[in-house]
Structure 1
Amino acid sequence: MERKQELEWETAQRTGISVDLVSAAKQHLDFLAAVDRNRWLYEGPGLDRAIYRYNAFWLPLLAKQSGSQLVDGPLVVPLDCEWIWHCHRLNPVRYISDCKEFYGKILDNRNVVSSVGETSRKESENIWKSLYPSEPYELDLTGTIQVKIGGEKFTKYDLISAVQRQTPFFYQVSRPHMNDNRYLQESVARYKGFLHLIKTNKERSIKSFSVPTYDIDLIWHTHQLHPVSYCKDLVKIMGKVLEHDDTDSDRTKGQKLDVGFSGTEKTYEAMYGCRYRRAGAMYLGQAPSPVRTIPYYGIVSKKLPPSDENQKIKLPEMKILEVMLEFTGVRNLPEGHDGNLFLEFGKAEPDAIFNAKKSVELFSEFGEKQVVSFHCQPTGHLLFEIISKSSKTMGAASISMEDFVSPHCSLTVEKWLELVPSSNTIDSKAIGLRVAVSVTVPTTAPYVLRMIRSRLFPKSSCLFPLPMRKVQFAKSRTDVVDEAGNLIMSLQTRVSKKSKGKIGSMRREVVGTTESGERCKLAVFAESKWSIVNSPWSLKLPNKNNDDGHFLELTGPHTVRLFHGGRLDYESKYCQKHRSENELERCVITAIEFSEENPYGRAVALLDLKSGIVKVKEEWFLLPGFMLAFILGSISRKEGYISNTMGLETLKHKGLSNEVEEVCVEAKVGGNWNGKCGGGGGECEKLESGGCGGCGGCGGGCGNMVEAGGCGGCGGGCGNMAKTGGCGGCGGGCGGGGCGNMAKTGGCGGCGGCGGGGGCGNMARSGGCGGCGGCGGGYDNEHPNQAVKPGNEVLVA
């Protein structure tokens, strides 16, 4: 920042504002959140009624209050009236005009408090009832709009359109950093710079359409909500009340909003020598589609009982912040390198969030801005390296991220970095890179867990099938690890000994083992639902009145419903076709919490059953989150996919796939639960789980046939074996039961089975089936359940 620009900024900071905009902005955000929990105020009969009450009752009451003190304390405005009042005031010129026309003065918010606060509203209710005995203080949507009783003054300003324009605003400012004092203090400073810019343009007779970033816009809105102060302040600053034009929403390139923002950015940066764009203050895109259009009222609050110590999941809290980089200049490039260089940047020591280097093209004279946005932990150093076309590093420099964490440091910095050459060659001048860095304040990062599943192996060899109906399996497990790869718990399923042989009372359990070897029972399946042990949480099917499309419901202190696909905060930004393919139809599940605070739903976790990655926002949902992923992952492996009816039959009758720690229990054969393998080859084609059929039966271990293929006897008709692999053969087949997924891993062929004309589907691609009595094709090295840590997407503007 040059001295002239510094003086301009100092002048802007002397702009007089008579409102504590930081504390007022925090109250403003609380109010917007309250309205968002009552979305009937956005449209329909609720909005119509609120507009009527605002004009007929609230403004006349406010006019009386400003003339003479009606109540001893502050007047509390009903929520519905406050929302309409809010939107009316955000057209300050029209609001002032209406107030003066109808009441002869500006109706201010002085000595009026929001209904969102904890101030007693008893006095306000009493004065309301005395003035309007037939109209309740709180909006009652069951009533009918009263006919005008005379004397009401209704503005001609289109309040419905004003509400529709303001409805999307909360989404853009709802992230946690917007409510932070340090972030807001810098936003107020930028707002003063914004006002000074408009004043300067006016003094120079420069016509412009000034467009704020969202942090500035939040402060601007907050100022307008104090109409008398806003009027006095703006008249003093620039001689008139500044209009707030919110009618333009078209962000298409070349349109008024886009051109206005580009012009504002250019003028702001030339005037002050600092960047206009800011981390956490840019447009987020359209708000995600809601899962409900009406609030969910079936919420029963419960007290949490003391938790079993073994089941408390504690993970270290991780902080995350958003970083925006702008590369605004480069100097002293060696001759012949213009346009042939790249700038690589990343963390000197990659963290759990930002773990890959990114690059942008670099020129000696920047034509377009190079703007990059990403998230990372507030630790370590950002490393910048200039790379030649031949991949040679020409110089490097770094910036400490920890400097931004200090409460006394600015959240923005712009400076020249001198890039130290990587070789001993000493140039006359070091390459210089001008970098502008802005960050948000650190906030708590979501927890990320990975479910790594081991394969199931029979203790018997496939060469020596045992003539037993129940086959012992070696222990299989699913390891739950954190982002650093530390084991949190190993999960296994087992059948309760009390229920063996009784299909109707079959009881399954999920058992957890800690790294120290301590075991505890985590969940039980009984009476058509899963219950988490020593916890109020239980998983059940939706009831008949399923009005939002969820397919399972977790009930407890709150209601958590499970929806297919990425929803709300996890909604995919891809087009519909790409999104469907990307999520593999049903492999991505969003857990959405419904509570008194969130009647329209709040995303608390994302379960990716294909990759085994579980993202959980808050600690209380860690155990339910990975238990859901484990249970649903087991079912999806059995069924091959997650369908809309997943759980109706699978959960109701089976609870979980037939993978158990101790034994392979009864299989569903020929569409019937008959408690044994090898019944009636003619019915095998109906098998849901691969199948066991034909003469000689299944030598053992039919288990989860979708995963383990099937065992075929004489006649060979083993369900859809071509799809899932299988073991075929006359009388023998793969007696050991360890066929695995034959389509992927090869398999075991019996005499006359696969390889001998058994019809093995597309087995040739992946190994295949051997001849008489042999294991053919072998076992490949594929590990489809091994979690792979994904990279981080960097948005380059």
Structure 2
Amino acid sequence: MEKQQELEWEAAQNTEINVDLVSAAKRQLKFLEAVDRNRWLYDSPGLDRAIYRYNAYWLPMLAKHSESPLFEAPLVVPLDCEWIWHSHRLNPVRYKKDCEEFYGRILDNKNVISSVEGTSRKQTEDAWKRLFPGEPFELDLELQQENISGQGVVAENFTKYDLIAAAQRQAPFFYQVSQCHMNDTRYIIGAVARYKGFLHLIKRNKEKGIKSFSVPTYDIDLIWHTHQLHPVSYCEDLLKIMGKILEHDDTDSDRTKGQKLDVGFTGTTKTFEDLYGHRYWRAGAMYKGNAPSPVRLTPYLGTVTKKVASLNESPIVALPATKVFEVMLEFVSVRNLPEGHNGSLCVSFSKSQPDMIFNAKRTLKILSESGEKQVACFQCEPTGNLLFELMSSPSVSPLIKKVKNIGTTFISLEDFLSPDSNLTVEKWLDLVPSSHITESKPIGLRVAISVTIPTPAPHKLHMVRSRPFSKSSCLFPLPVRAQFSKNWARIEDEEGNMVLNLHMRDQHKSKGKKESRKKVVVGIMDSGKACTLAEGAESKWSMVNSPWSLKLPNTNNDDGHLFEMTGPHTVRLFLGGRLDYESRRCAKHKAEHQHEPHLITAVKFSTEEPYGTTVALLDMKSGTVKVKEDWFVLPSLIVTFILGNILRNEGHCNMALHSEELSNEAHNIAVGKETNQAPLPKELVAANTGVLAGGCGGCGSGCGNGVRTVESGGCGGCGSMTANTGGCGGCGGSGGCGSMMAKDGVSGGCGSGCGGGCGSVMAKDGVSGGCGSGCGGGCGGGCGSMMAKNGVSGGCGGGCGGCGGGCGSVMGNSGVSTGGSKNMEKSGGCGGCGAGGCVGMSDGGLNQEIVVA
């Protein structure tokens, strides 16, 4: 069987294609990136105007040039016309028909180059002006729409193909192929090989009379598009390969289970793997979900990109570079099992050395043994080995949890870094058997692994409290890394190493009879050396020896940003997880939880990124800062520290803000007292204020002011400290501290499940949840009414779905509590919060939305 599969793959690779698909794919990606910077081409009126120009001017000019060259150099196509031409050619059958009807032949792209690399643009512009004197070469959107008639236009040569719908269908494609690995030569070479396999598979189905809807992965689709953009070569090649021009159906986008696209992808996966013995999935080539919502609907045009001086050249902050790549893993089959084996098999996998990104042990089933396809997708550093342990558990009773280690093996991740690696491995690995197993033939495990190219990993830093809790702080702080205090913060990396200490202090200066007061942020190194990093006065902060400054936006804020940083670029701070950090919830919950008030996303705008690209995520609850680009490390830390001081009052475990306790300066900023400044959004203030809100929903909807959303909680902190029925939900229904000195306080807790935390403390009739563990998990309880009468409390539910117990009324009367270990038998497994676990796919099918193992 394997030999036959090898022969089929060899036959596929002998498929003749008369286009340099590797170079052409790179050119296509460059073009799509340019279109994405000009998103007016995605919709009216720009799209309508581009379609008119394409039909009225570009195609006639191309026809003239292909029949008798207008000049010797290549013809350059205007960007707007190129976008429509791109979309038209991606229906190769219709494009061929239209060209032959209007011009008698297929209008090819030979001797034509893209607008993004046009070296002969001047010659093309001159020829354009001669042919169409009343029409600019580049689309002028300010041109009156009624002036759409030009010299030499033949109205009947306009295609009836719906080019508006065609272009709009192609608009989301760039998001799926925009990651940098798609532009890597090794990755594209692998995609070309898979595309040839895709065509050969369709040919084999045709020969067998099998009608099927073949669905490509995105690396294959990129190459398929690239081939179609060379219309003459595509038609000739496909006629030779399979006797017909292969149509490209991009009209179906419904990925719902059981629909045409889902069924087609499942069938293509099974046929491809049966035919070649290679996995059809590939790291970096699977469906990424819908593109995140933009932060702006119009481009930001106020930025001129300058050279960014790296602040990390200063000894203030020096962080090691870390690489990361995406890994997909499947255990396909096992052979030479010990005689008499009758248990169920699985394989656990882990890294051989510490990895800040992937440091857990996961488990997957084996396809040939379970009949269920399971694929793990995760990120890790490209170092060390992946270790595999073949495990067996008795099939006598599901209650028996004894597991045997049959054998171990490994594969080196560093081998994928070799220039000769094609980033994919599928092979048999011999296991080193455990001591109790003696077999004449080595036990074999067939492992399939695919990786992307390594890219720089974001820096993740933590602001940790530099001094103990004050007496006014919560009795039961959230079980996360300690939040930083009001005036001091210790910056640590992921390994707990100190990077920098930050301190905010008042600075008084006397100038004659006038005395000025401003705040300064001071950085203190481990050696004790201190330097001033930022100075603030009223609503603006300036960073010392740096081009960056931070200020509140003017009242004519056009995109809802909270703050703006100006410097070599413009960086705007938006409430919630945005763009790359947008919540990946289902559509229903995504609408309900569009903004996560404790998160702030930093978005950079530049000439290359007029719609913005994320550079950092600031978690104002935990004090965690994730930074993508080195030049923004120090500015992001300073900004997070400054905002933390604005948005919380010392001693509140959710960094709560008490307006009446703010300094005049911070209060002015919060309420927008300056006449030209916009006030902080009420969501941000409410989410971080004990006075203004009963609690916060965090990353779910939670229950602020004692209101609970059933579908999903948020990752909450403290609710109302001195209020009635204050509380807060968490991930899947957990929360933090509820009403602290309240009557009838109702609270969620600190777990990640349907758990709870601190209920009513020093309260009467306090009712509390507990600390549920797991996702979708424990209906547990924690500390109920402390020093209370008739306190009723749940417990600590472990696992997923477990119901437990905890502390009842402490020093109280008639406390009622359940036990912490009861009712655990029906606890199931769990994935991550929102997206986690190893997704199971039966019958050989594979959902393109593969989740993290």
Same fold (TM over 0.5): yes
1:793 and 1:555 mapped to 2: Cα distance? 38
1:438 corresponds in structure 2 to 450
339-348 vs 69-78, which deviates more? Answer: 339-348
Alignment CA distance shift 1:583-1:482 (3 Å): farther
Q: What is the CA distance between 1:477 and its match in structure 2?
A: 2.9
Q: What is the CA distance between 1:302 and its match in structure 2?
A: 4.8
1:113 corresponds in structure 2 to 113
- Between the aligned residues of both structures, percent identity stands at 62
Residue 512 of structure 1 contacts residue 519 of structure 1 at CA under 8 Å; is this kept in 2?
yes
Q: What is the CA distance between 1:506 and its match in structure 2?
A: 2.7
Alignment CA distance shift 1:231-1:574 (3 Å): same
Q: Deviations over 1:519-576 (max 9, x none)?
A: 2111111242111111111111111221211111111111111111111111111247
1:647 and 1:299 mapped to 2: Cα distance? 35
Q: Does 1:396 align with 2:408?
A: yes
Match of 2:225 among 221, 229, 233: 221
| Aligned ranges 1:543-562 → 2 under 5 Å | 543-562=554-573
Residue 416 of structure 1 contacts residue 433 of structure 1 at CA under 8 Å; is this kept in 2?
yes
1:214 and 1:594 mapped to 2: Cα distance? 28
Q: What is the CA distance between 1:484 and its match in structure 2?
A: 2.7
1:654 corresponds in structure 2 to 666
Alignment CA distance shift 1:413-1:721 (3 Å): closer
| Aligned ranges 1:167-182 → 2 under 5 Å | 167-182=171-186
SS in structure 1 at match of 2:614: strand
Alignment CA distance shift 1:298-1:532 (3 Å): same
2:170 corresponds in structure 1 to 166
| Aligned ranges 1:216-295 → 2 under 5 Å | 216-295=220-299
Q: Does 1:99 align with 2:99?
A: yes
Please give the TM-score of this superposition, normalised by the length of structure 2: 0.73
* Amino acid aligned to 2:543: I
2:424 corresponds in structure 1 to 412
* Amino acid aligned to 2:170: Q
**Rg larger for:** 1
* Amino acid aligned to 2:154: G
2:214 corresponds in structure 1 to 210
Residue 495 of structure 1 contacts residue 508 of structure 1 at CA under 8 Å; is this kept in 2?
yes
Alignment CA distance shift 1:635-1:580 (3 Å): farther
Q: Does 1:622 align with 2:649?
A: no
5+ residue gaps in structure 1?
Answer: 460-473, 659-667, 672-687, 691-719, 725-740, 746-758, 770-776, 778-788
5+ residue gaps in structure 2?
Answer: 394-400, 472-484, 674-688, 692-719, 725-736, 742-760, 767-782, 789-810, 812-831, 841-853
2:661 and 2:139 mapped to 1: Cα distance? 45
Residue 279 of structure 1 contacts residue 323 of structure 1 at CA under 8 Å; is this kept in 2?
yes
Alignment CA distance shift 1:70-1:579 (3 Å): closer
* Amino acid aligned to 1:441: I
SS in structure 2 at match of 1:48: helix
Alignment CA distance shift 1:476-1:142 (3 Å): closer
1:610 corresponds in structure 2 to 621
1:790 and 1:458 mapped to 2: Cα distance? 32
* Amino acid aligned to 2:402: S
2:133 corresponds in structure 1 to 133
Q: Does 1:496 align with 2:507?
A: yes
Q: What is the CA distance between 1:457 and its match in structure 2?
A: 7.7
Q: Deviations over 1:72-118 (max 9, x none)?
A: 31111110000000000000111111111111111111111111115
SS in structure 1 at match of 2:293: coil
Q: What is the CA distance between 1:426 and its match in structure 2?
A: 2.3
Q: What is the CA distance between 1:120 and its match in structure 2?
A: 4.2
11-20 vs 84-93, which deviates more? Answer: 11-20
Q: What is the CA distance between 1:643 and its match in structure 2?
A: 12
Q: What is the CA distance between 1:3 and its match in structure 2?
A: 1.9
SS in structure 2 at match of 1:44: coil
Q: Does 1:796 align with 2:839?
A: yes
2:648 and 2:579 mapped to 1: Cα distance? 26
* Amino acid aligned to 1:48: D
Alignment CA distance shift 1:475-1:311 (3 Å): farther
Q: Deviations over 1:327-371 (max 9, x none)?
A: 211234457764534321111223111111111345762312121
Match of 1:380 among 384, 393, 396: 384
1:319 and 1:617 mapped to 2: Cα distance? 12
Residue 529 of structure 1 contacts residue 651 of structure 1 at CA under 8 Å; is this kept in 2?
no
* Amino acid aligned to 1:426: T
Q: What is the CA distance between 1:179 and its match in structure 2?
A: 0.4
Alignment CA distance shift 1:182-1:120 (3 Å): same
SS in structure 1 at match of 2:370: coil
521-530 vs 362-371, which deviates more? Answer: 362-371
Residue 412 of structure 1 contacts residue 439 of structure 1 at CA under 8 Å; is this kept in 2?
yes
What RMSD, in angstroms, separates the aligned Cα atoms of the two structures?
3.8
Match of 2:373 among 356, 366, 369: 369
Q: What is the CA distance between 1:766 and its match in structure 2?
A: 9.5
* Amino acid aligned to 2:17: I
2:283 and 2:373 mapped to 1: Cα distance? 15
Residue 336 of structure 2 contacts residue 444 of structure 2 at CA under 8 Å; is this kept in 1?
yes
Q: How many pairs are equivalent?
A: 680
325-334 vs 368-377, which deviates more? Answer: 325-334
Q: Does 1:326 align with 2:330?
A: yes
1:54 corresponds in structure 2 to 54
SS in structure 1 at match of 2:389: strand
* Amino acid aligned to 2:666: K
1:483 corresponds in structure 2 to 494
1:42 corresponds in structure 2 to 42
Q: Deviations over 1:372-428 (max 9, x none)?
A: 111111111111113334143232211111111111123111122333233354245
1:77 corresponds in structure 2 to 77
Alignment CA distance shift 1:304-1:197 (3 Å): closer
Q: Does 1:633 align with 2:644?
A: yes
480-489 vs 424-433, which deviates more? Answer: 424-433
Alignment CA distance shift 1:792-1:195 (3 Å): closer
Q: What is the CA distance between 1:503 and its match in structure 2?
A: 12
Please give the TM-score of this superposition, normalised by the length of structure 1: 0.78
SS in structure 2 at match of 1:490: strand
* Amino acid aligned to 1:598: E
Match of 1:154 among 149, 152, 158: 158
Residue 356 of structure 1 contacts residue 792 of structure 1 at CA under 8 Å; is this kept in 2?
no
Higher relative contact order (CA 8 A, sep 6+): 1
Q: What is the CA distance between 1:585 and its match in structure 2?
A: 3.9
Alignment CA distance shift 1:645-1:367 (3 Å): same
1:395 and 1:305 mapped to 2: Cα distance? 53
Alignment CA distance shift 1:189-1:655 (3 Å): farther
Alignment CA distance shift 1:363-1:116 (3 Å): closer
Q: What is the CA distance between 1:434 and its match in structure 2?
A: 1.7
Q: Does 1:542 align with 2:553?
A: yes
Q: Does 1:571 align with 2:571?
A: no
Residue 18 of structure 1 contacts residue 233 of structure 1 at CA under 8 Å; is this kept in 2?
yes
Alignment CA distance shift 1:793-1:650 (3 Å): farther
Q: What is the CA distance between 1:491 and its match in structure 2?
A: 0.8
SS in structure 2 at match of 1:638: coil
Q: What is the CA distance between 1:504 and its match in structure 2?
A: 9.1
Q: Deviations over 1:584-628 (max 9, x none)?
A: 941111111111111111111111122222111111111111112
* Amino acid aligned to 1:7: L
Q: Deviations over 1:696-738 (max 9, x none)?
A: xxxxxxxxxxxxxxxxxxxxxxxx97369xxxxxxxxxxxxxx
SS in structure 1 at match of 2:505: strand
1:599 and 1:356 mapped to 2: Cα distance? 39
Residue 291 of structure 1 contacts residue 568 of structure 1 at CA under 8 Å; is this kept in 2?
yes
Residue 304 of structure 1 contacts residue 557 of structure 1 at CA under 8 Å; is this kept in 2?
yes
Residue 374 of structure 1 contacts residue 793 of structure 1 at CA under 8 Å; is this kept in 2?
no
1:298 corresponds in structure 2 to 302
